[in-house]
Structure 1
Amino acid sequence: IVPWNAPAVLLARGIGPALAAGCTTVIKPAAQTVLFNAAFLGPLLHDPRLPAGVVNVFAETGHDGARLLASSPNVDMICFTGSTAVGKDIMRSAADTMKKLSLELGGKSCAIVLADADIDAVAPKLAAAATIITGQQCTAVRRVLVHRSKLDAMKRALTQALQALTVGNGLDAASRIGPLIDPTSRDRVAAMIDRACNEADDVLLRGRSLEGAGAFLTPTVVHHQDTSAFFMQEEIFGPFVTIESFETEAEAVARANDTIFGLSASMWTNDGAAGLRMARALRNGTVWINAHNTLFAEAETGGYRQSGIGRLHGYDALADFTELKHIYQAPGVVGRGEARG
Structure 2
Amino acid sequence: MRVASHYIDGHWVDAVDGAAAVGDAFNPATGLAVARYADAGAAEGEAAVAAARRAFGQTAWRHSPRLRADVLLRFADRLEARKDEVADWLVTLNGKLRREAMSEILGAASELRYYAGLARNLFGRIAEVEPGCYSSLEREAAGVAAIILPWNAPIILLVRSLAPALAAGCAVVIKPAFQTALAHNLALECLVQDERIPAGIVNSVIESGATVSQLLCASPDVDVVSFTGSTAVGKRIAQASAGTLKRLSLELGGKSPAVVFADAAHGRSAAGIVAGSLIQAGQQCTAISRVLVEDSAYADFTRSLAEAYRAVRVGPGNDPQSQMGCLIDAANRDRIAGLAERAGSAGDVLVQGRIPGGELARGAFIEPSLVAIEDLSSEYIQRELFGPLIVVERFRDEDDAIARANATRYSLASSVWTADAARSRRMAGRMRFGTVWANTHNKLFAEAETGGHADSGYGRLHGQEGLNDFLETKHFYYEVSA
Are residues 1:151 and 2:302 paired? no
- Give 1:119 shift: 2.1
Matches within 5 A, 1:97-176: 97-176=244-323
- Give 1:323 shift: 1.1
- Give 1:309 shift: 0.5
Are residues 1:273 and 2:422 paired? yes
What is the match of residue 442 of structure 2?
Answer: 293
- What whole-Å deviation, never above 9, does each CA across 1:284-339 have from its counterpart, x for those lacking one? 0000001100111100000121101000000000000011222211232xxxxxxx
Are residues 1:264 and 2:413 paired? yes
What is the match of residue 47 of structure 2?
Answer: none
Write 1 or 2 for the structure with the bigger share of strand: 2
Aligned to 1:305, the other structure's residue is in SS state coil
Write 1 or 2 for the structure with the bigger share of helix: 2
Which residue identity does 1:248 align to in structure 2? D
What is the match of residue 329 of structure 1?
Answer: 478
- Give 1:155 shift: 1.3
- Give 1:194 shift: 2.4
197-206 or 258-267, larger mean C-alpha shift: 197-206
Is contact 1:124–1:162 with CA below 8 Å preserved after alignment?
Answer: no
| Residue ranges of structure 1 left out of the alignment (5+ in a row) | 333-339
What is the match of residue 121 of structure 2?
Answer: none
Which residue identity does 1:295 align to in structure 2? L
Are residues 1:202 and 2:339 paired? no
- Give 1:199 shift: 2.0
- Give 1:49 shift: 2.0
What is the match of residue 335 of structure 1?
Answer: none
Task: Give the distance between the partners of 1:328 and 1:66, measured in 2 at CA.
Answer: 39
Q: TM-score, normalised by structure 2?
A: 0.68
What is the match of residue 220 of structure 2?
Answer: 73
What is the match of residue 43 of structure 1?
Answer: 190
Aligned to 1:142, the other structure's residue is in SS state strand
Task: Give the distance between the partners of 2:458 and 2:307, measured in 1 at CA.
Answer: 37
Matches within 5 A, 1:157-236: 157-195=304-342, 197-211=343-357, 212-236=361-385
Which residue identity does 2:172 align to in structure 1? T
- Give 1:218 shift: 0.3
Number of equivalenced pairs: 332
- What whole-Å deviation, never above 9, does each CA across 1:238-292 have from its counterpart, x for those lacking one? 0011111111101100100000100000000010000000111000000000110
- What whole-Å deviation, never above 9, does each CA across 1:201-227 have from its counterpart, x for those lacking one? 211000111233210010000111111
Which residue identity does 1:18 align to in structure 2? A
Task: Give the distance between the partners of 2:267 and 2:425, measured in 1 at CA.
Answer: 23
> Of the candidates 296, 301, 306, which is equivalent to residue 455 of structure 2?
306
Is contact 1:119–1:150 with CA below 8 Å preserved after alignment?
Answer: no
What is the match of residue 85 of structure 2?
Answer: none
Which residue identity does 1:22 align to in structure 2? G
- Give 1:192 shift: 2.5
- Give 1:72 shift: 0.6
Task: Give the distance between the partners of 2:328 and 2:347, measured in 1 at CA.
Answer: 30
Q: Percent of pairs identical after alignment? A: 50
Task: Give the distance between the partners of 1:85 and 1:140, measured in 2 at CA.
Answer: 19
